[in-house]
Amino acid sequence: MGKNTLVRGIAAGAIIGGLISLLDRDTRGYVGNKIKSCSDKTSFYVKNPADAMHQLNTQYTHYSKQFSANLTSALHMLDQIREIADKVDLEQRDKNE
């Protein structure tokens, strides 16, 4: 029961907050422009699905390469940390002997 009330309260607060923010003229203009832009893009992609698929594929390739490069960098850093930890461990063993 408490979860339903929480979700309803959050939704009601978001709706009320959104409506209050629309009292500002600049915000209304911004929202109107974004809705029009979204509508134009949707219409374009509905009429040109091949372009949508091409753009999706291009973005996927770009982000996939970026993720791969970042992952490689993170693995390299982890390898360096492991090497440093091994050196420290070896120095500790030498001191104890």
Q: What is the pLDDT of residues 69-80, one digit of tens each?
A: 999 999 999 999
Contact 40, 47 (CB under 8 A): no
Does residue 2 carry a pLDDT above 70?
no
Reading the block at residue 25, the tokens are 């003229």
Residues contacting residue 31 through CB under 8 Å, at least 6 positions apart: 22
Does residue 40 carry a pLDDT above 80?
yes
d(CA 66, CA 72): 10
Does the pTM exceed 0.75?
Answer: no
- The ranges assigned to domains in the chain are 1-47, 49-97
Neighbouring CB atoms inside 10 A of 71's CB total: 10
Does residue 1 carry a pLDDT above 60?
no
For residues 26-31, average pLDDT:
94
Q: Is the dihedral of CA 3, 8, 11, 17 positive or negative?
A: negative
Contact 73, 65 (CB under 8 A): no
Q: What is the pLDDT of residue 93?
A: 83
Q: What is the pLDDT of residue 84?
A: 94
Reading the block at residue 16, the tokens are 């009320």
Percent of the chain past pLDDT 70, that is, above it, reads 97
Q: Residue for token digits 């693995």?
A: 75
